[in-house]
Amino acid sequence: MDTRRLGYFVRVVDIGNITRAADSLHITQSALSQHISALENDFKTRLLERTGRGVEVTASGRSLYRYAQGILRLEKAARIDLRAGSDTPAGLVTVGLASYSMAPGLAAPLLRAVRERYPNIQLQLIQNLTVVMSQAVLLGQVDMALIYDPGYVKGVVFEHVLEEEFHLITGVRTPPVTSRRDTITLKEASRLDFIMPSELHTVRRVTEAAFRSVGLHCSVVAEVEPDKVLRDAVVNGLGVTVLPLTAARANFASDEVRVYRFADAQLSTAMSLCTPEVQPLSHAAALVADLLRTLLLDPPVSGRKSA
């Protein structure tokens, strides 16, 4: 199979329009259409449906898109590795970082450590994907991921690294939600409006499960994925949220929010390093994983004031 065609297909899906994709690839629209048709003939299935506004991806197309990303990443890694020669560790290493966790706070320190020790390793850090991170590891889209441990997932291994405890976070513009300074009960919290990530996110699932376990409801008024959007919403008093203390300290200054520990429940989950079960890590990826483990033993201090 011509991997160039896979790259063309990924570009079309990302842009959602064949004409604009052709322009970005510096080829004609007819040539790009022929490459897509050739892929559809290879796989004997329709990958894209043409619409008046562009293209829509079929179910088969979505599956191919996920696999194509892994194949193209491996091809890029091989080219980097072979260009560098064998005298020094080299290659492309992709690390997934769970949103709404302490993981993004390790991004800059990890990048610094890799640049200092292994300058020929190209590090790619990814926070948001169209599939869950463990699935991305399984599909080869990322080499490893620092994520909340979802439990058993066939084909991947979870190496427990630490436990994250969740806290209620409110903006200082929001009136104090309890008479106590730094603790809150689930019943008191159930009266508040929450801004949370989607239902698939571990923070959301753990929070709602804690409320359900005592017969209470967590009122989610908005779902927000980008960390910055959630930060701005909480600071401006549009709702409250639940975050690990490490993430709260990384995203908020101490004079922007109030942080409450749950007095009658422990909302927590494990953070784990997720790697493939069968496919061994490349030499470069194994070195990056070791650096990540070292950073986890001595986490960097956030640049913000402690929340």
Q: Does the global pTM surpass 0.95?
A: no
Distance CA 28, CA 147 (A): 41
Asked whether the beta carbons of 277 and 155 are under 8 A apart, the reply is yes
Asked whether the beta carbons of 182 and 259 are under 8 A apart, the reply is yes
Residues 6+ apart with CB under 8 A from 233: 195, 222, 224, 239
Asked whether the beta carbons of 275 and 137 are under 8 A apart, the reply is yes
Distance CA 230, CA 195 (A): 7
Could you give all domains of the chain from N- to C-terminal order, each with its CATH number? 3-63 (1.10.10.10), 84-161+271-297 (3.40.190.10), 162-269 (3.40.190.10)
The phi and psi torsions of 68 (rounded to 5 degrees) equal -60, -40
**Average pLDDT of the segment spanning 13-20:** 88
**Average pLDDT of the segment spanning 103-107:** 88
Judged on CB neighbours under 10 Å (0-12, 13-18, 19+), 75 is middle
Residue 28, SS3 per DSSP: coil
Question: Could you tell me whether strands 219-223 and 193-196 are parallel, antiparallel, or unpaired per DSSP bridges?
Answer: parallel
**Average pLDDT of the segment spanning 211-230:** 89
Place of tokens 């194509």: 68
Angle at 293 (CA atoms; ends 288, 296), nearest 5 degrees = 125
pLDDT confidence of residue 306 = 47
Which two tokens mark 127? Answer: 């926070």
Residues 6+ apart with CB under 8 A from 251: 227, 230, 231, 243, 304, 307
Angle at 20 (CA atoms; ends 19, 24), nearest 5 degrees = 120
Selected residue with higher pLDDT from 298 and 253 = 253
Percentage, residues of the chain above pLDDT 70: 93
**Average pLDDT of the segment spanning 251-273:** 90
pLDDT confidence of residue 234 = 93
Residue 141, SS3 per DSSP: coil
Band (pLDDT 50/70/90 cuts) for residue 305 is very low
Lowest mean pLDDT of 3-7, 87-91, 101-105, 201-205, name the range. Answer: 87-91
Selected residue with higher pLDDT from 57 and 200 = 57
Tallying the residues shown for the chain, one arrives at 307
pLDDT confidence of residue 237 = 92
- Spatial CA neighbour of 273 closest among 128, 131, 101: 101
For residue 240, what is the DSSP state? B
For residue 154, what is the DSSP state? T
Selected residue with higher pLDDT from 279 and 257 = 257
pLDDT confidence of residue 287 = 94
Distance CA 300, CA 259 (A): 21
